[in-house]
Chains A and B, each alone.
Chain A
């Protein structure tokens, strides 16, 4: 996702130039079409989550979380996310450092590999781990000797979640670090700073906002991953059900208030993620304007 800097050639209100912009009527019509489309397809579904969750009042809403299975699902999701997000954070930092700060052959191939999880169907992402670790999988004999269970258990859910969210941090940081170049780091190193010290005091402050947003997005996606996790989890209630899988169970049992109440946790998290992103873009745009004035 490219960051959206405010366009420098945006129309300034009060100074319309008929030759290089549309007439007021056309502009209002286009804004209305865009707004109607976004409200109908994106905002209404979001509102529906909270409306359906609260349709029977606050008590029914909070009762949905008292359920033992719901609590087990929330705990499992938090556990999986607590492993997947740091893992992808370290991978993202290593990948972006090596790809953005150095020139080497085979770089574009590496970038393609990093992108693969984005272009694979979530269901296929789960399927590949079944093929490796399932009862008839390629590693099944080895797992039997070691008495390990990976799919239909927590390790499989962790693996599938890591796979699906792997590109998120790397993809956000690589363009950012490429744009910043190596000048700052070279200066610090020439002045005698160690490699690690340079990374912590020069590189990290430069990328902190991109890093923060990508970690938040990775967090939201890890908690909410459905397709891949659904294939490897085995759906054992109270044991291998994550939050989105529990939402599915409740929904299919026609417990709509329960389903939407649990879903509202994830929707709330998505809202926080988007709010932080907008805030960062807003502040970031101000920073850009300040530096352009020098």
Chain B
């Protein structure tokens, strides 16, 4: 253990070897080993085999649905998330604490429960679905339903990444801007929003990455029609039930590449923000 990670300076605090050793052991067994299995399986298929799986029109369509709708949902969630974060940090009004607690609901509510609840609300005979049908909009069992579920699960990511930054904005900066003659709208557009932008982008990327892999809250409302409203994670489940492990791994690898690229992007954004604005 000490060979891999040596303490930079000696400390009087005990337990370094024990706790770090245990942490590395568990991470290796629970996280690294299973992920290696996936990489091993994928490399046994080879790049050619993977591409062949991805050329299947049903797979390509599922990936398009997952990536495309996650992108739109993350954008909508970021927009409203910014307003929610602003209202919760800047204004005091009755019910604020309740709304603040509700933001974390998608973290605590199991995805399957959220899924059946959304499906019953937006079904053609449900309270919201019935109303929307009368307007000619069918939500449940269409891609719009997937979009609704993905907005639901994105909210905590987009709100909670922006909130601490809004709380940290120094009042003096806004006052300076106002003293120099800027209208409130100009201050928000030219001073506040640019400094929040990295955090908004981080929240967007987190919501997007989560959306690509989301399963439980989506499958009940999606209708799961191949080529129309079938998401990539569901196709993995279908491939597994057909014992097509190669196909399942190929889709999984592409999804992982997507979410890891997002994580990488987030790290870049935060490194940039640290340099530019002095926060992470």
A residues neighboring B (CB under 8 Å): 1-2, 4-5, 7-13, 18-23, 27, 30-31, 33-35, 37-38, 41-46, 48-49, 52, 91, 93-95, 97-99, 101-107, 110, 112-117, 119-124, 127-132, 134, 136-138, 159, 162-163, 166, 182, 185-186, 189-190, 195, 199, 217, 220-221, 223-227, 230-231, 244-245, 247-248, 251, 256, 259-260, 263, 266-267, 269-270, 273-275, 277-278, 282
Contact = CB atoms under 8 A, between A and B. Distances in A.
B214 interface: yes
A10 B152 CA distance: 27
Interface residues of B, number: 107
Give the 10 A-B residue pairs with the shortest CB-CB distance, closest first: A121-B213, A224-B110, A195-B14, A128-B34, A19-B178, A226-B216, A227-B215, A270-B108, A7-B167, A45-B117
Nearest to B167: A7
Nearest to B170: A9
Contacts of B263: 112, 115, 119
Contact of A35 (B8, B14, B99): B99
A104 B8 contact: yes
Contact of B19 (A35, A98, A248, A282): A98
Contacts of B156: 1
- A19, A23, A131, A182 interface centre (most CB from chain B within 10 Å): A131
A5 B167 contact: yes
B105 A270 contact: yes
A205 to B, nearest CB: 17
B109 A266 contact: yes
A224 B121 CA distance: 21
Contact of A266 (B106, B110, B234): B110
B41 interface: yes
B19 A97 contact: yes
Interface string B7-18: 111011111101
B256 interface: yes
B24 interface: yes
B163 interface: yes
Given A44-B128, A127-B249, A185 B13 contact: yes
Given A19-B184, A124-B213, A244-B216, A263 B112 contact: yes
Contacts of B27: 110, 113-114
B120 interface: yes
Given A45-B117, A122-B233, A124-B252, A226 B215 contact: yes
Contacts of B92: 10-13
Majority secondary structure of chain B interface residues (helix, strand, loop or mixed)? helix
Interface string B142-157: 0000001001100110
B215 A220 contact: no
B71 interface: no
B52 interface: no
Majority secondary structure of chain A interface residues (helix, strand, loop or mixed)? helix
A49 B259 contact: no
A224 B26 CA distance: 23
A175 B72 CA distance: 32
Interface of B: 4-9, 11-16, 18-20, 22-24, 26-27, 30-35, 37-38, 40-41, 80, 83-84, 86-93, 95, 97, 99-114, 116-118, 120-121, 127-128, 148, 151-152, 155-156, 160, 163-164, 166-167, 169-171, 174-175, 178-179, 184, 209, 212-216, 220, 233-234, 236-237, 240, 243, 245, 248-249, 252, 255-256, 259-260, 262-263
B240 to A, nearest CB: 6
A55 B8 CA distance: 62
Nearest to A160: B34
Contacts of A103: 7-9
Contact of A7 (B105, B117, B166, B175): B166
A91 B91 contact: no
B236 A123 contact: yes
Contacts of A11: 90-92
A1 B100 CA distance: 13
Contacts of A34: 80, 83-84, 86-88, 99
A251 B216 CA distance: 13
Given A104-B6, A248-B112, A274-B102, 18 more contacts: A4-B89, A20-B175, A22-B184, A49-B117, A97-B19, A98-B15, A103-B9, A122-B233, A127-B38, A131-B37, A131-B41, A223-B110, A227-B216, A248-B116, A251-B220, A263-B112, A277-B104, A278-B97
A98 B14 CA distance: 10
A273 B110 CA distance: 12
A104 B128 CA distance: 54
28 contacts: A2-B163, A4-B164, A5-B167, A9-B169, A34-B86, A34-B88, A91-B26, A97-B19, A103-B8, A104-B7, A105-B5, A106-B5, A113-B31, A115-B263, A120-B259, A123-B215, A124-B252, A124-B255, A130-B240, A195-B14, A195-B15, A244-B111, A245-B112, A260-B116, A263-B112, A266-B113, A274-B101, A278-B101
A7 B88 CA distance: 9
